Every structure is written in C-alpha cells, then in structure tokens.
Structure 1
Amino acid sequence: MQGKPPDWQDFVGIVVLLIINSTISFIEENNAGNAAAALMAGLAPKTKVLRDRKWGEQDAAILVPGDLISVKLGDIIPADARLLEGDPLKIDQSALTGESLPVTKHPGDEVFSDWTCKQGEIEAVVIATGVHTFFDKAAHLVDSTNQVGHFQKVLTAIGNFCICSIALGMLIEIVVMYPIQHRKYREGIDNLLVLLIGGIPIAMPAVLSVTMAIGSHRLSQQGAITKRMTAIEEMAGMDVLCSDKTGTLTLNKLTVDKNLIEVCILKVIIITVWSSQKIWKKDMVVLLAARASRVENQDAIDASIVGMVGDPKEARAGITEVHFLPFNPVDKRTAITYIDSAGNWHRSSKGAPEQITDLCDLKGDVRKRSHEIIDNFAERGLRSLGVARQTVPEKIKESTGGPWEFVGLLPLFDPPKHDNAETIRRALDLGVNAKMITGDQLAIGKETGHELIEKADGFAGVFPKHKYEIVKKLQERKHICGMTGDGVNDAPALKKADIGIAVADATDAARSESDIVLTEPGLSVIVSIVLTSRAIFQRMKNYTIYAVLITIRIVMGFMLISIIWKFYFSPFMFWIIAILNDRTIMTISKNRVKPSPVPDSWKLKEIFAAGVVLGSYLALMTVVFFWLASDTNFFTAATSIAVYANWEFARIQGIGWGWAGVIWIFSIVTYFPLDVLKFVILYALSGKAWDTMIQNKTAFTTKKDYGKGEREAQWALAQRTLHVLQSSESQDLFNDKNSYRELSEIADQAKRRAEVARLRELQTLKGHVESVVKLKGLNIETIQQHYTV
C-alpha cells in the first residue's frame, strides 16, 4: 500500500515461522535418517577371522592389518588383503572398476575391499583397513551416477502439476486485479504471494520421507531390513514373486535315508543292496561323500553328509588331506585329494549327478540305469547326489589321475515348510503370482509344488543366467517382479529384479545386490511385508492426493474471493494456515489405513482427478461460506484463534462463539459429500462404472435379477459350443431381445440334462464304468461290457 512503511510484523513473523518449519522438518528427517541408519547397522558385513587360534565370525569393522581371514564363494572382501597358499580365485571387481567379467587372482596377489569372490576358497592376510584401503583412496573411480527413480519422477510430476496450477491462478489474478480492477500494486503482490505460499506443497518431501522411514522401521520388526527406501513403493506394486526353492520354500535341512542309497558295483550295473555284507558298501558311499565334504564352515549338504558318519573326525580318519576343491556354480561338485595309510593317493568327489556321471563317462545301460534312479528319486521329491572316486598314481596334486569310478547315488530330502501352502494361498489372494525357480530337476520341482499348491507355477533345471533372463522377460511383459535368493549365483537376478530380496543367511554377494534383506526364514515374512508396504504406500498416496487437493482449493478458492470481493489477504495470516496445515498432516505417516487387496502403484490420473474434483468442491464451499459470512470479516485457522484473536497487523478479528459454532456446523455438513465424491471418482476411473451403466444397464432399473435371461443365454451358448452344437445362427439370437425367453428355456433344459447325467454317473454301475473308461481314454465300443445294470 503506497506511502506505508514496511510491514515488519509480517517480515519477522514469516522469518520466525520459516525457522520453526525448517527446525521441525530437520528434526523429523533426522529421526528418520537415524532410524534408517540403525536398520543398516544390522547389515554390517561379517567375516571369518582367526583369533586366539580359533576361527570365528566377527564384524569386518574390527579387522586390523595382520589378521588372517577366510575367503570363500559369495564373500565380499572385507579389507585389502594378500592371498596365501591355495587355489586361484575368481574375483568380481566391478564395484571398483566397473568390469563385469571375473578376474583370476593367484596366491600372492592383492585383493581389495568390496570385491566379490565368484569362485574358489582361500585364506588371506589383511594389509589395509578403513580409510587406508585402495577402494577408499580411489572412491572417485567408482561409478556413482545417480539414476532418477520412479518415486522421484512421481514427486516431480506432482510438483509440476501444483506449480502449473499456481502459475495459472496467479496469471488470472494479475489479469483481473491490475488491468480490470486497477488494484494497488502492494495489495496485488500480497494476494499473489498468498497463492504462492499456500499452494506449493512444501512439506511433501519431508512427509513422504518420514512415512517411508517409519515404515522401514516397522518392516524391520517383521523381519525385513530395507536397504533402499523406495523399494517399499515397488513392493506394494509387486505382482510376480520369483522364489528360490531351497531354504525359501523348503527348510534347507537335508536328510539322507540310508536304506535308499544306490551303490554302483564294478561300474557295470547299479543295484539296491540288501544283504548285510553289502550294507558295508553303503557305508563306504557315505564315507567317500563325507571325505569330499567340509568338516568346518559347512553348507547344508556337507552338514547332512558328515552328520551320517557320526563323528566328524571319522571323515578324515586314516588319511592326509592334500587338496580340497570347494563347490562352485560351474562344476557343481566338490573334490578332495588325499593320501591313505598305505601312502597311495586318491580322489573323492560328490556333486550334481549329471556332473558326476559325465565325470565318470558312463555309457550304455549303466548311464540309462543311473538316470532311471535319478528320475525315480525326483518323482518322490528327492534330490540326488552323485559320488565318485579315482586313484592318483602320479602322486601329484595337479595330475588328472586315473579313470573316475562311479560309486553311488545318495537321496537327499529337503521337506517343505509347514506354513508355505497357506502363505502361497495368501499371496495369490493378494494378487501376487508366486513362481518357483530351482536348479533341481523338473520332477523334483513338480513334487515340491504339488505339496504346496494345486496349480504350481515355476521353472526347473535352470542355471544362474536363466534366472536373470526369466526376471528380464517378466519385466518386459510389464510385471513388477520380486526375486528371492541366497547365493552368489542369484546376485545377477537380484540386481535385475524390481525388488531384490536376500533371504536369511544369504551370502554377502546376494545381500549386496538386494534391496531388502530378510532376518527370518520363509515366505510368510514376504507376505507380511507386502501387506505392510501396501499400507505404507496407501499413506503416501493419500498424502499426494491431499497435496494436489489443497493446492487446487487454495488457488481456486482464494483467487475467486480475491477477485470477486476484492479481498486483501495478509501473508502472515496465510503463513499461520500453511504451517499449521503442514504440521498436522505429518501425522499421516502413522495413519491407520487398509492395505489394497491387489498390487498398487502410482496412478497419476487418479491422483490428479481426485485432487482436482475434491479441491474444486472444497474451494466452492469456501467461496460459498465466505459469501454467507462476508459481513463478519472473519478468517481463522482454529476455533480458539477465531474467538479470541484480535491482531490488527494480520487483519484478524475475533468472531465470538456463535460464529465459531456456525463454522463447525458448516464444516461437518460439507464433509459428508467428500466420501461420495471420492467413491464416484475412483469408481469412474476403474472402468467398471461404464460397464454397469451402459452395457448391463443395471444403474437404470429397479428390477430384481435384471439381465438374468441374458446371462443364462450366454451360458447356454457356451454349453452348445462345448458339445459342438452351436449353429451359425446362434450368435444372432443374442441380438434379438425377444429370444431371451427361448434361450432361457434352453438353459433350463441343459441344466436338467446335466444334473440327470451327473446322478446317473454317480448312482449306477454302468455310469461309473463308462466314466472310468472315458477317464482312461479307452474306446467304449471295444470293451466287453460284462457289468450288470
């Protein structure tokens, strides 16, 4: 206003409120960050280290130069180290160089922190830790490009929509206030500032960040640690879950039935041995398999095999270990080279039966018989483990040795978890299609699947690269795909999936590539976090709708009031409204919501449509109420302020309890249509409304069972098609509304015939025999009918 001094009250008030808003936002985001940091501390890497002459698992952070560590398949190198005596390692150094192909490292070579062991097992001595590691010094070499995630794109789209709405409202105000109404410059600037201050959703990043942080903390209580916050929204939209079988669908507690062990005699035939003399040969198969197993730092297979021997020391009794070949995803077997008490050199190997039979070069009937036994085990849900041996006459570790001799096959049983069937049913009810991906044989996968669910779905006999391709193909079909895994061979698929989930006891490599790490075993945890993620996502979506709604309400409502009544708004007054509004909406992060029964995702059309319609309605109600109460000169943010506040500098006057009651009544009355509008918007956007109103016409009739005749006619047509009775004129019947009665009679007759046929089949011997014959695919005419009716 021309000639007046600056409004220092507005200036000081705005600065103070800005400081308060920034402080509260900082505290909330700091608490959210601390909660996230506490969760990530649970994922601190661990390593096998030799302390006090004992191997134990310790936090990688306590390593010091000179420590002796053990590195095996799937481990992430915890510090810079030098390899000691042993076989070469295959190392993935993409974390530092970006090179995707593994590199071979020999004893004496240096390996650096954050590299991943892809193959082999060896001991190493630590040479540098912490900030002194090569990775820390060369951090600028690491690919650190930040990709804009889907969540950020959604926030940008909503922000742009709000800014465009504000810009449009300000443009209309400028055109009307100055050229048409000839308002004073200062007054017009204040009104424009009100739209700018009130319309921008300043608190949106803080609210959504706090919502996800609190949600992450809740997920951790359910057994899932979130490494990437935005994985929560992707988890809410997941519609396909690819699950590993071992350890996820099964207990990963392997047992061996000694009575089912198959022994190979002289490489000629494979027989099941029953005599007490040949029971000893079964013990030899177990002993040779135990020798080819680790007695320390075991996996599930090694633990089950060595456990059958009784005392683990017996696996190495009377022999001297020369060399041990650890398991790797390529060879799929382990092997040991040892010297017996007589000084002779031998090798023993156990592993995937296909690899062992190829190693022994089995041919003819022996190979055919071995495959029959493997298939027989698989049909019973048993995995097979082949065992072989050879002599090493050269007595050299690197020599190829003599021909391999196939010793036998061990059946491994890994029972499914007791709650998996119910868990998968719940996942299907939630719209998540669970697919089993296993490297086991198809028959094993089928048997496991049938124990879990009637119609199993998945892939069997896959290699690590196939898992990656399966996830890729599902994503190309517009699915939001989750992937569970535990090994280094799962790492590529975990990284490719929209949501990579490392199961409990996963390797470091699998954890590093995942978005969510489970601390409890089984699929039930995943179903729980799906529901929680959908609830968190629902809170975020509710807030985004509210942000759009409040922008439309402020821009449209106050623009109309400013233009029609030439009302002057104090910026300080609007700062009070904005701050109180943002602080109260922070509670949405803990709001009680109902999770969506189907996969949910960001639907910008729905958000914008709901925000615009609801915001326009509230803006209209604001204008109507202002028109009704314009003579009282009131504007308020709370009842107490409205009753008692008399602030001249902010142009606020108390209105008394009478008008405060009117405000409450008006607010309550105008609240109820909001739910009706929400329902109309969501129902219209779903597409079901048009089917109901236009096609089925049920919205325009009060008749009971309207459309029943048409539905029965459709069923009759399906029955005629099934029995090859449909004529060319059948389709025309549906175009003639007068024929509904005829078609309804056809439907009734077909139903009666079907019921008579069902009773005849169930209650007569002839019907039962004919039913069995048809089920077996036989010709009824060629069978002598010797039954009595």
Structure 2
Amino acid sequence: ILNLCQEKQEIAGKVHAIIDKFAERGLRSLGVAYQAVPERSKDSPGGPWTFCGLLPLFDPPRHDSAETIRKALNLGVCVKMITGDQLSIAKETGRRLGMGTNMYPSSSLLGRDKDEHEALPVDELIEKADGFAGVFPEHKYEIVKILQEKKHICGMTGDGVNDAPALKKADIGIAVADSTDAARSAADIVLTEPGLSVIISAVLTSRAIFQRMKNYTIYAVSITIRIVLGFMLLALIWEYDFPPFMVLIIAILNDGTIMTISKDRVKPSPKPDSWKLNEIFATGIVIGSYLALVTVLFYWVVAETTFFEDHFNVSSLSSSTEEISSAIYLQVSIISQALIFVTRSQSWSFLERPGTLLMVAFVVAQLVATLIAVYADIDFASISGIGWGWSGIIWLYSLIFYIPLDIIKFTVRYALSGEAWNLLFDRKTAFTSKKDYGKEDREAKWVLSQRTLQGLMSSEFEINGRRSSLIAEQARRRAEIARLGEIHTLRGHVESVVRLKNLDINVIQTARTV
C-alpha cells in the first residue's frame, strides 16, 4: 500500500516506525490509502494514491494456549513458535504465552546453504530458539528436518496449505480443527475440537500406557528369574522337585492379577521416557535373584532346622514332602504377587495407592492360594494341607522379606542412573541418563526468589524438582527471565518517576506487583 502512494519517500520512515511500535505490542498493521477518480469509471487510471494511516489489528491467542504451553514445558516437551508474522509480533506473542522471547527471523536459517559467516550455526540455533518469524513453508520443513536429524521426536501442528510439507515430514503431524484439506491429508492426527489442550491429554495418556508396559516388563523378568533360579537351586542343593502342577496354578493366578495392570492407577512420567532394556533387565534380574534366595532360605529353615517349630509352636514339616510343597507354593505365590506393587510404583510401594481392580484381584488370588495350601490334599499334585498356623507363619515371613524390595529397587536404579534416590521424596521416574542437574536447580531457585521478591509467588511455594528435558527447561527459564526483565524495567520506571515528582516511595512499594 505504501509503495502505491505518491508521498512514500517522505512518510516511509514514520510508517515503518509505527508498524514496529504496533508489532512490539503484538498488533498487526493494515495500511489504508485512497485514490481520487474524477472520471468515475473503473477503467480510469485515477489520480495518485494518498496514504491515510494504519489500522492496528489484534489477533489474541486462545484463552487456553498459555496453560497448554506451560503444561507441555512441565512435561519436558519443548514448544517452538513458527510464524509468518513479524519478529516483534512473534516475540510479544511468545511473551504473552510464557514460552520465551528467544526468537529469530527466517534469515537466520540461511547459514546452511548460503554464506555461513552471515548466519548462526543452524542446528544449534534451531535447538535453542523459542521460535522463528517471517518463515515460509520451506523454512518449516527445514526446521522439522533438522530437529529430526538431531534425534528429536518432532511433532508439528498446522492448519494451512503452507503447513502441509512440515506436517508430512514430522514424526507426528497434527492438523488442528477447521484446517484445510491439504493439511488434513498430510497430518497423522486431525483434531476435531478447537485448541491444543487435547495434545497434552494425549501425551499424559500415552505416558501412562508406557508406564504400565514398563511395570509389566520388570515384573515379568523378575518372576521368570525368580521361578527358574529358585527351583533350580532347590533341585541342585537338596534334589527337591517342586510339583509342575503347582507351577501352573501359580502362573494362572499371577496372570489373572497382572492383567488388571491395564486398569491400574499410574503416575505418568514427568518427562519423555524410552525403553532402556539394560536397566529394566538389571532391575528384574536383581529382584528376581533376591526372591529366589528368599525361597531357598525358607526351604532350608523348614526342612533343615526347627526354628519355626521352636518359636511358633507348630508341627514339623520336614518329614512330609507334600506339606513342604504346599508351604513352598504359598510362599512363592504370596511374594510373587506382592511384587506387583513394587514394580508398579516409582516411590515406596505403600505410598502409591493401586487401582481398586488390582487390589481386588490380589486379595482374591491370595485367598485362593491360602485355602489351597491350608486344606488341599491332591495326590497327583503332591501337596497336602498345612493348616492355618503354618499359613500365618508364611504370611509373616513373606511380609518381612517384602519390605527390602523397595530398597533393592532404589539401589539398582541408583547404580544404573545415579538419580533414583530422588524417588524417595519426589516420585519421579528413575530410568534416565546420569546428569548433573545442580546448575539448573540453582537457576530455578534464583527465578523463584526473584518472583517472590516481586510479589508474584508466595515464599512458601516449594520447587518440586521436576526435571524436564534440558531444552524445555531452558525454554521455560528464558520465559521466566524475560518476564522478570519486564518487571525490573517497570519497577525502575516507576521509581524514576517517583524521584522526579518527589513522591513517597513507600506508597509506590505497595503497588509494585501491578
């Protein structure tokens, strides 16, 4: 519009200055000009165009966008804004949404193909930036491609034809509601409701499913090692053969209980997780070996000593192989199913309440196992009832040796990840790489103290130590620092006005949180 006007040379500087000022406030600018047409004909060339002014347009983000981005950052998901708007508008929008103002123009992406001395290193720039402004479809595609080359799982949201290449390239392309047909066909997921909050729900749901899968894997490895190693040691040391039919009963009851994990109450991981088979198998092997040794110790005490008879006044089982088999069956069944509560929890197992269905299945299965051990006399299974006295002793024995399982779990994870002791208090996932988070914690505490000083947060607020992925944590910290910088600027301006007008500083102090 400005180029059409006859006075463009005289007013260009002022117009662009006003456009920049509007952009700093997050406003788009629409130029308005008019032309006199004396002939009143559409074919007439008319007179010169006269520039009237600028109309500021405000396109605010959705009401839930800031909260959605905050939740994504807390979940370790780094969010980047890629927009065709001006850089100033992008920075102001990023500030409003709390995602940081570390944004760059699309010209910064030229370092790979053009003069590398005129642009920052592209790979590092894209990883650390909060967003890019003035981009074209090829820029969006290139950003997604570079993030994937850096081994990031990349998702892309969009609604227009210009987003289609990037949506197709991304690991997860998401077309928002009311998007074009081109965007819908290129995307993997099409949202039917406005907003992006449903993406956070999908992340939490998928992490809960993944957590259940991991819990089951650790349990399955532990039980396999426990059954094989335990009965092998009994056969090698004492030549004792556990009845195969009772192994089948244990497997059936365990499977019935473990299926309820699909409906169990789990806490999703606070950051992106992945299969780390060496850690999962190590945890399962150590716990399974411990349980096998517990069974071997129980057999030795029952068959070779009179400890239980002397302390609990029960009859000896050493003379009856069938009764020993019943006792071993009950001990293996109790501790095996109780292990579910250890593998399903990230903290102490008694602090994380399991699902109702899991508890009901455990109680029913153990009631059946106890009744079999107390009353069953099955010749082909080579078992004989041991009575309620011995069943009570076995329950007490299993409870005592259940307690160290949590400590073993923490120890193994600490040895493998260097981080698991935090689970004692924070209940965070232990399957992470060993890293030094001290610097991040100190910076987070500094941000908290600054927010407290400015009246934005009570001093009683506690940092929960949630360690998001490094990039997301940096983005969140940049957003905090940007907000703090604005607060300091506002406070300095107020204090300077106070000094100039000789006002009472104490009056202003009470309103410094505005």
The equivalent of 2:308 in structure 1 is: none
Change (3 A) 1:521 1:389: same
Separation (CA, whole Å) in 2 of partners of 1:265 and 1:500: 39
The equivalent of 2:171 in structure 1 is: 498
Superposition deviation, residue 619 in structure 1: 1.2
Is it true that 1:268 corresponds to 2:30 in the alignment? no
Superposition deviation, residue 366 in structure 1: 7.5
Counterpart amino acid of residue 677 in structure 1: I
8 A Cα contact 2:69 2:98, kept in partner: yes
8 A Cα contact 1:553 1:616, kept in partner: yes
What whole-Å deviation, never above 9, does each CA across 1:681-723 have from its counterpart, x for those lacking one? 2222222589xxxxxxxxxxxxxxxxxxxx9xxxxxxxxxxxx
Separation (CA, whole Å) in 2 of partners of 1:269 and 1:469: 40
Superposition deviation, residue 675 in structure 1: 0.7
Counterpart amino acid of residue 651 in structure 1: S
The equivalent of 1:595 in structure 2 is: 268
Equivalences, count: 333
Superposition deviation, residue 372 in structure 1: 5.0
The equivalent of 2:71 in structure 1 is: 426
Separation (CA, whole Å) in 1 of partners of 2:372 and 2:32: 84
The equivalent of 1:659 in structure 2 is: 390
The equivalent of 1:581 in structure 2 is: 254
Separation (CA, whole Å) in 2 of partners of 1:367 and 1:478: 46
8 A Cα contact 1:643 1:654, kept in partner: yes
Separation (CA, whole Å) in 2 of partners of 1:656 and 1:596: 45
Change (3 A) 1:665 1:450: same
Is it true that 1:687 corresponds to 2:447 in the alignment? no
Superposition deviation, residue 384 in structure 1: 4.3
Is it true that 1:547 corresponds to 2:220 in the alignment? yes
Separation (CA, whole Å) in 2 of partners of 1:664 and 1:577: 16
- Whichever structure has more helix as a proportion of its residues is 2
8 A Cα contact 2:225 2:285, kept in partner: yes
The equivalent of 1:486 in structure 2 is: 159
SS at match of 1:634: helix
Q: How well do the aligned residues superpose, as a CA RMSD in angstroms?
A: 3.8
Separation (CA, whole Å) in 1 of partners of 2:49 and 2:21: 18
Counterpart amino acid of residue 618 in structure 1: L
SS at match of 2:266: coil
8 A Cα contact 1:634 1:654, kept in partner: no
Candidates 438, 441, 444, aligned match of 2:83: 438
Change (3 A) 1:266 1:428: closer
Counterpart amino acid of residue 625 in structure 1: F
Superposition deviation, residue 646 in structure 1: 2.0
Candidates 404, 408, 413, aligned match of 1:673: 404
8 A Cα contact 2:79 2:99, kept in partner: no
The equivalent of 1:244 in structure 2 is: none
Counterpart amino acid of residue 209 in structure 2: I
Separation (CA, whole Å) in 1 of partners of 2:185 and 2:259: 33
8 A Cα contact 1:269 1:369, kept in partner: no
Unaligned runs of 5+ in 1: 1-262, 271-363, 391-400, 691-710, 712-760, 770-789
Counterpart amino acid of residue 96 in structure 2: E
8 A Cα contact 1:553 1:618, kept in partner: yes
What whole-Å deviation, never above 9, does each CA across 1:644-683 have from its counterpart, x for those lacking one? 2222222232222222212211221111101111111222
Counterpart amino acid of residue 559 in structure 1: M
Separation (CA, whole Å) in 2 of partners of 1:653 and 1:515: 59
Superposition deviation, residue 502 in structure 1: 2.6
Change (3 A) 1:678 1:406: farther
Counterpart amino acid of residue 395 in structure 2: W
What whole-Å deviation, never above 9, does each CA across 1:254-301 have from its counterpart, x for those lacking one? xxxxxxxxx76973136xxxxxxxxxxxxxxxxxxxxxxxxxxxxxxx
Counterpart amino acid of residue 687 in structure 1: G
Is it true that 1:518 corresponds to 2:191 in the alignment? yes
What whole-Å deviation, never above 9, does each CA across 1:81-108 have from its counterpart, x for those lacking one? xxxxxxxxxxxxxxxxxxxxxxxxxxxx
Counterpart amino acid of residue 539 in structure 1: R
The equivalent of 2:302 in structure 1 is: 629
The equivalent of 1:561 in structure 2 is: 234
Is it true that 1:464 corresponds to 2:137 in the alignment? yes
Alignment of 1:620-769 (within 5 A): 620-630=293-303, 631=318, 632-635=323-326, 636=329, 637=333, 638-688=369-419
- Whichever structure has more strand as a proportion of its residues is 1
8 A Cα contact 1:467 1:490, kept in partner: yes
Change (3 A) 1:516 1:661: farther
- So what's the TM-score if we normalise by structure 1? 0.38
- Residue range with higher mean Cα deviation, 544-553 or 370-379: 370-379
Change (3 A) 1:369 1:540: same
Alignment of 1:83-482 (within 5 A): 267-269=5-7, 371-372=16-17, 374-384=19-29, 411-453=56-98, 455-456=100-101, 457-482=130-155
Counterpart amino acid of residue 233 in structure 2: L
Identity of aligned residues (%): 69
Superposition deviation, residue 576 in structure 1: 2.2
Superposition deviation, residue 585 in structure 1: 0.4
